[in-house]
Every structure is written in structure tokens, then in C-alpha cells.
Structure 1
């Protein structure tokens, strides 16, 4: 059955309610319920039952379950490295011992460069940027909204421009499927690499973020947030509801333990190193074929196991204390896991309603090839905004974009780059995006505040990207 415009309602209602009420759970469930009402011909009780089932059923998908368990384990890792004195030792080393971080700008640059260097997987990037930078950014009164913006605007953009991570593996598989179907010819790796210079949104986002940090010139709601943090010392606005309750997850360095940044760096190093190893293993020796969700899950689990042997072996804590910290950190992540489950559920609703296909059908085959990349960028942005997933947008739009580019005689490389750019742009703008939720979690920011303060920057970079697609689409 074709639902047409109605397929847009669940996501739109969830997004509007989330912004209006700041209650993400209620908004997401309202969107799910509307979707099921559409599919059950507006019969309430069957729709309500199916809505509840749709949230439960997300756990039937292995990658979803691994991602949600990952969020619990992240809380455990964060709590452990705080209790071990790792965070305190790192902050002391940078701000007091070597005095490398002396002001707000330096604190934000630290977060920015960590986001650039840790390019293996977007959720891992957010986690590490938030964990390492938050105490230092707090010290120098950087608003949590600004830190969330840095987390979000380095993770996905950087990961999207590198082919040897879970993002690259997904994109290569989708491109290879089009080669196998005979739509295009060539090598998927070569096609993806040649599309990187056309990933205009990601490139613009990274440049804009660096300029904002260096100049200190913010605008829109972010400017108000930064003024509040600097003048009043309030890292969050009054009444803000962080995705992660800091009182629940934060612990002081365990009494009798000497702070040492190695206690933080070693577990995080294991986390980072395990990603490519896991991709290699799950890809049967081909890193590009590896499973991103499995690799992230294995990586955080390996970091947790390593932390146990390391901390207990160094007599930083006993086994019972270690497990207490594990439970404490995991418990604090229950709100994050719940939001992710609801976000995945509404994403599934959008798939059932074929929201992406409907959006694509509105313009497919109706426009000149010169405007192909620009149209593909807009379509990808809207689909990602509506569904809250970059990877889901890739799955929908890569086949459509390549087929459109061939039919319209548009630039193939630019068309692929436009899909990737649009998917990230839509994600950065959407309150139901899983990566945006993780960025809010990593920075301990109010989720809706993060979306509101980041949106003007996403729109600015989106406008820059769209202009480049139009201009270059005409001349290339």
C-alpha cells in the first residue's frame, strides 16, 4: 500500500512535539502511534498495541540490541575512568602540570582535534570527545551546548570522509550492489574515494566549526548559551534536562587513589584500537566488509574487560568496587537507551510507510541532470531529518542517487557525495537522530537544547553545500 504524504506525519509530529514540549520520549511515542494509526486505518486500540510492540520488536534486530547495550557499557566505562583518577589526572596534566590548556579556546580546540583524530566510528568519537573534553570545558566555562556541537560536528563529518571505517564499509557495500546490478561500472573503493571532495556539507561543517572556535563568534541560540556560561557560570540553562544525569553517573576519584591520566588513556586506547580489529574480524579479513554495530559493541566490551584487569591488578579498586561502578554507570544510561529504542522504532515505522521512497518519487526523472546533485542533497537531507538515521538514508538514497545520476547524465561522484552530505545534514538537524542523541549524551547536554543551538550552523553549512552542488553541477 502507498501512503503518500501521510508517510511523513510520524516523523514530523515527533519532531514538532519534541521541540515544542522538550519531552523526547512522549514525542517519539506519539510519532510511533501516529504511524500505526495510519497503517491500521485510524483504529486506536490496535494501533496502540502495535505501537508498544514496535518498540519491543526493535530488540529483534541484532545491531539495534548491540547499539543499546553499547550505550549501557559506555556509562560503565565513563564511571570507571573517573573513579580510577584517570579524568582528574588528565585534567591536571593539561591545565596545571604542563599548562597546555589555559583558556576556553584551547579547551574547545582539544575537543575539536580529538574529534578529528578519532575517526574510526562516530559514536566512539562522540564518547571520547565528551569524556576527555567535558571536565576541561567545564573548567573553562564552555557551555554543554557548545561541547555537544563540537562532538556532533566532528564525529560524523570526519567518519564520512574516510573509507576504512564502518561508514566506509556501509557505503562501499551499497555502491558495490549498484555495480553488481550493472547500473554503473568501476570499482566501489575508487568511486567512494573520488566522491570525498564532493562531500561539501562535511567539509564546510569542519571548517565552520574551526572558525567559530578560533574567533569565538557564535550566533543564534548558541551565542546566548555561551554568554550564559561565561557570565553566569551556568553550563546548562535553568530547567535543562541532560540526557545523562551527571549526579547519577559522575563519581570522584576513589579515596586513596592517586590521579593519573594513564588510567583513562589506556582503556580509551583499547576502545579505539579494537574498532579496526573488529571490522577486520567481522569482515572475514576485509575491513570494508565488517559490521559497524558489532565492532563498536566488541570495542567497548574489550575496553571494559581491560579496565577490570588493569584497575584491579593495579589495586586501584577491588572486584566488588569495580562491579559497583559498572552497575552505577550502566544505570545512569537508562534514559539514553530508552530514547535510542524509541528512535529506532520510529525509524522502522518510516521504513514501513516507505517515507524515503515517497520523497524520492516526487522529483525522480523530472529535472535536468545539472541539478541532479543538488536535488539528491535536498532529498537526502529531508529523509535523514524525517527518519533520524544517516545509515538508513544511505540505504535508501545511494541506489536512487546512482540510478538518477545515470539517467540524468549527472556527475556520479558528486551525486554520491551529495547523498552522504545530505544524510549528515539531516541528522544534524533532527531531534530524533541517534547520532544527535549520542552527542547530547556524551556532552551531558539537554538534547533539545543541543538540536536548537546546532540547527543554525547546520542550515548555514547546508546552504553552502547546496550552492556548491548547484554551481558545480552546472559546470562539471
Structure 2
């Protein structure tokens, strides 16, 4: 361990030297990025579009050739004076924005973070090291005022603190103080759970049922199943893998969620009839689902593990299962779980009698609120859902006779239990933002050209998006980078190759970007879903990362082979 610490320190110092060299000597490569919106004429007859529920009016449109943000003008290497500009290119109106990368050097912060995570098993210092290296690359030496505070003062950071620190932490704390979580586990054990296998199967079924994907599914499933899984002595490595691998993977297959509406705006290709309108693009999304091989095999893999079939689960998960079966220890001897011991050994007041409904009623309200807001408002209001559940748990405990002091003691213990994980989550978001700003994804995308053989494009897109999502910790951010470039590229290769079924080839390439991004997000130690899977199941973050990557990579390898075969056989 001491040697790994010295190696980690040496890597960190070399990274800082490299970051300073990049800032002073490496020239930025500027790249044109274009965005296509569904435009319409508003009541005043002005061209407009909707963004986050608000109507935005386009003030000025210039010809593409005269824009300083087109690729020809950006290639001179000089920083552009404009941040964005609306242009008309061959009759199509789109928004141009400049972006840059440092070539291969753009991967430095992500590489440093992941390397230090693996070497030290200490994510906080690894994430901070990644932030420092990225900040130096950008010339931001004032880490507090120029890097940390601007990122922590954003709406997204505030939402993370509200949801995962106050609402989730407070709810877990009250459930622990009242004994509601333990009562629910005992009820489920008495009625449904007969051992580790049935506990894992219930967890898998809930993961499939909560197919909204991402952080919402991870938190809902993790908080629901942990009490019964702990009572059934299921290892935390197994549980975190099941929770994580039935979040985004199932959302890409049962896509009755917000994913199609978001992604359709990124896949418009001029002149392609089956991607012409929003309805066409959503239809294309659902038509491509049979090619979502990674999502399908990832969910099947967790089902096999739930049935105690560990052939494809990897040595670490098999060892964790054997440890839990033999000793009852849910974590490894050197593990640092992302929850506090207060929640694992609650102190319920002697006069208070817990009941499983104290867990079930807030949980049902949480799920109902999330689903109903999705149905009626178009997106699930997760903060509302957890807020309602927290208030219900709070007032139920008071109504049953628990003192306000005891309730607030439980609430405070819940906050303390998730502070460490919340800090990790916020730092991970900052690392992802820095990686995006220095162009890690853009550089990887730029390595693909139209001279690539058509049958190699699907697996190339898969590997590219896996790397981007793993480096940035976000699948949706990867979609925003990869889809606007991958879809026109795949269409160009399809046309140049004279394919009989170019639409099927486009579906295959679409699925590789969709699924490759899910894999990279799922396996990345700086991903919010990875961190939350560890937090809600009580697993050590790096134990989760290391144990999950083997079965996930196995599913990804099978998917890559099938995409290549489909490209050869069906197009």
C-alpha cells in the first residue's frame, strides 16, 4: 500500500508538470459544433424554438460561409470572438458554437483521476487531483474562486446538494431512527424473501420496473432494496452491481422515459428523410431498440447473478458472494462504504414500536409522485418526490409518539451518513465539466474519418463513446458530443458504400453510441450513477467499480461482436 502511495504521488507530480506544459506550449485545436433545433414561427412571425420550457426567439441569422465560427475560419488557430451564432447553411438554420481540445492531452484529467482511484482506493484525493490538473491546463490557478466556487454555485450543484444530501440523507436517517427500514426488511423477509437469491431477484425486478434510468432509478432501487438485502446477507458488491446495471441499461431498452425526447434533438441529419421530423426521430429511436445489445445483455447478466449463476460475473463478485455466504460480511476487509455506521446500527428509542408501513407509505408516495409528474409534466420531479416522502416520514414518526428531538437526531445522522458521498459526487461533476471543457470527447470523436470501412464503424463508435463516457462520467453529455458527429458520419459511409439498407446501418450505429455511452457511464468511477449505486447500497466505491467492470465488459464485448455481424449481414 505504501509503494502504491508513492507511485500515486509521482504520477500526480508528473501530471502537474504535464498540465503546465500543455497550458504554456500546446496550441488549442478549435472545432465547429452545430446544433439543430425544432424551429417554428411564433405569433409575431419570428423564428423561435423551445428550450427548458421557454420560448427563445432567434434575433439574427447569417450565412454559414461568412460566420467566424465555421470550421474553415476556426482552423486558423485563433480564439474566436463569438461564443455562438445562428447560421443558414444550404437552407437549414442551425446554431454554431466553438469548442477546442488539446489533442491526446485532453484525456489527462480523466486518466489521472481514474489511475489514482485505482491505485489509492481513495476517490476524494483522486478527484481533486483531476480537478487541479485540468484547472492548470486551462490556466485557472485560483482553484477556489475560478474553479470550485463557480461549479459549486451552479443550479445543478445546488440540486445535487438538495436531493442527495438533505432529502435523501434526511429520509434515510429518519427511516433508520424509527426502525422503519429494518421493519420493512423483516416484513419482506417473512413474506417474500427466503434468502440471498430471492432478495437479489426482488432487487432485479424493481430495477426493471423503475425504468426511468440514471440517478432516479439508482436512488429509488438502492434505498428500497438495501434493508432486505442486508438482512438476507447479500454482499454489497453484488447489490451495487444489480442496482447500477438495471438503471441506465434498462432505460435504453424500455425507453418509455425522457431519453427519446432528449436524444431525438441530437440526431437530425440534413437530407435523411427518416430523421426529418421530431416524430420521425422518436420513431427511429424505438425502431433501433432491438439493436441495443449491451442494454439487453447487461440486464440479463444481473438476472443471472440474481439467480446465483455467477459464470459471467467475474472473480471479484464471485469472491464477494462466497465471503457473504461463508462469513456474513457484506464488505471486504479493507472496504470504506459510502454510508455511515449510524445507519447500519440504528438506535430506536425504547418506547417506539417500528412498523413496515412507515417505510412503505413514504416509498409509495415517492414513486407515485415521480411517475405522475412524468406523466403530466413530461419529466419526473425527483426533488418533489423525495420532499413528499421526507415530510411523510417526518410527520408519521411524530404522530406515532417520537419526540421532535429524536426525529431531528435521525435527520442529522442521515445527513452525516451521506456527506462524504455527496462531496465525491460534486467533485466528480466538476471533473466531468473540466474534461468536457478541455475537449476530451471532441478529441476522441475527431479520430474517426469517413475512410473507415463500414463494418468497422459500429465497434469504433462503441469504443469511442465508451471512452468518452468513462472519461467524463456522463452518458447524456456523451450523447451531446457524439450523436451530432456520428450520425452524419454513418450516413456518409452508408451512401459511399452503396448499401441496400442504409437505415438499418444507421440504426446499428445509433445503438452503438447509445449503448457505448451507457457502458462508459456505468463503469466510470466519476459517474453519478456509479457513486449513487455505491452510496445507496453501502458499498465501497472502488470495490463497486472493480467488481462491476468485468461483467459489464463481457456484455459490451458480446454487443460489439453482434453489431459488427449485423453491419455485415443486414446492410
The TM-score, its normalising length taken from structure 2, stands at 0.75
8 Å CA contact 1:249, 1:328 repeated in 2: no
Q: Which of 436, 449, 457 is the aligned partner of 1:351?
A: 436
Q: Is the aligned partner of 1:227 residue 2:322?
A: yes
Give the corresponding residue for 1:339: 424
1:31 shift after superposition: 1.1
1:296 corresponds to: 382
Equivalence for 1:150: 242
Aligned length: 457
Q: 1:163 to 1:219 in 2, by over 3 A?
A: closer
- Report if the CA contact (8 A) 2:184-2:228 is conserved: no
TM superposition shift of 1:211: 1.5
**Contact 1:79-1:249 within 8 A present in 2 as well:** no
Residue in 2 aligned with 1:174?
Answer: 266
Structure 1 residue 171, shift from structure 2 partner: 2.2
CA contact (8 A) 1:405 1:415 kept: yes
CA RMSD of aligned residues (A): 2.3
For 1:61-140, what aligned pairs fall within 5 Å after superposition? 61-72=154-165, 73-96=167-190, 98=191, 100-140=192-232
| Structure number having the greater strand percentage | 2
Q: Residues 9 and 198 from structure 1, CA distance in 2 versus in 1: closer, same or farther, beyond 3 angstroms?
A: same
How far is the alpha carbon of 1:253 from its aligned partner?
A: 4.0
User: Is 1:189 the equivalent of 2:282?
Assistant: yes
Q: Secondary structure at the match of 2:204?
A: helix
Looking at structure 1, the residues matched to 234 and 220 of structure 2 have their Cα atoms a distance apart, in angstroms, of 17
CA–CA separation in structure 1 for the residues paired with 2:270 and 2:200? 42
| Alignment pair present for 1:257 and 2:352 | yes
Call closer, same or farther: CA 1:249–1:223 in 2, change over 3 Å: closer
Q: Distance in 2 between matches of 1:255 and 1:156?
A: 42
Q: Does the 8 Å contact 1:199/1:421 carry over to 2?
A: yes
Unaligned 5+ segments in structure 2 are 1-27, 30-101, 495-501
Measure how far apart 1:374 and its partner are.
1.9
| Cα distance change, pair 168–297 in 1 and its aligned pair in 2 (3 A) | farther
Higher helix share goes to which structure?
1
Q: Runs of 5+ in structure 1 lacking a partner?
A: 41-45
The 3 A distance-change label for structure 1 pair 129 and 316 is farther
- Asked if 2 retains the 8 angstrom alpha-carbon contact of 1:160 and 1:168, the reply is no
Separation (CA, whole Å) in 2 of partners of 1:241 and 1:211:
27
Q: Which moved more, 1:364-373 or 1:226-235?
A: 364-373
Aligned 8 A contact 1:82 1:88 in 2? yes
Q: Answer whether contact 2:177 2:407 (CA < 8 A) is retained.
A: no
Distance 1:162 1:347 in 2: 27
Kindly report which structure 2 residues correspond to 1:345-384, keeping only aligned pairs within 5 A, or say none.
345-384=430-469
- Asked if the contact 2:185–2:231 (Cα under 8 Å) also holds between the matched residues in 1, the reply is no
C-alpha distance in 2, partners of 1:203/1:424? 12
* Deviations 1:133-171, CA, capped at 9 Å, x for gaps: 223222332211111111111111122223332434432
User: What is the rounded CA distance, in whole Å, between the counterparts of 1:38 and 1:70 in structure 2?
Assistant: 32
The alpha-carbon deviation at position 370 of structure 1 amounts to 3.0
What corresponds to 1:460 in structure 2? 554
Tell me the CA shift for residue 121 of structure 1.
4.1
* Larger CA deviation: 182-191 vs 378-387: 182-191
Please tell me whether residue 445 in structure 1 is matched to residue 544 in structure 2. no
Other-structure match for 1:412 = 506
Task: Work out whether residues 340 and 416 of structure 2, in 8 Å CA contact, stay in contact via their aligned partners in 1.
Answer: no
- The C-alpha deviation readout for 1:236-284, integer Å capped at 9, x for no partner, is 1112111122336752444333332221111112221222333456xxx
Say if 1:184 and 1:117 are closer, same or farther in 2 by CA, change over 3 A: closer
10, 23, 28: which is aligned to 2:122?
23
CA distance in 2, matches of 1:55, 1:380: 27
Whole-angstrom distance in 1 between the partners of 2:266 and 2:392: 35
Higher mean C-alpha displacement, 253-262 vs 191-200: 253-262
What secondary structure does 1:335 align onto? Answer: helix
Segment of structure 1 superposing worse, 328-337 or 82-91: 82-91
In structure 1, distance between residues paired with 2:393 and 2:287: 40
The offset of 1:122, in angstroms, is 2.9
Q: Aligned to 1:35, which of 107, 118, 134?
A: 134
Q: Quote the offset at 1:317 in angstroms.
A: 2.8
Deviation of 1:51 (Å)? 6.8
Partner of 1:204: 297
1:130–1:197: structure 2 CA closer, same or farther, 3 Å change rule?
same
1:161 paired with 2:253, answer yes
Q: Which residue of 2 aligns with 1:236?
A: 331
Deviations 1:329-366 (A, max 9, x none): 12221111111111111111111111111101101323
Asked whether 1:4 is paired with 2:103, we answer yes
Which of 366, 370, 379 is the equivalent residue of 1:275?
Answer: 370
Shift of 1:368: 2.4
- The answer (yes or no) to whether the contact 1:33–1:51 under 8 Å persists in 2 is no
**Structure with max Cα Rg:** 2
Q: Which deviates the most, 391-400 or 409-418? A: 409-418
Q: Which residue of 2 aligns with 1:43?
A: none
Contact 1:116 1:158 in 2 (8 A): yes
Contact 2:176 2:410 in 1 (8 A): no
- In 1, Cα distance between the equivalents of 2:324 and 2:284? 45
**Which sits farther off after the overlay, 159-168 or 232-241?**
159-168
**Structure 1 residues 235 and 179: alpha-carbon distance in aligned structure 2, compared to 1, 3 A threshold:** farther
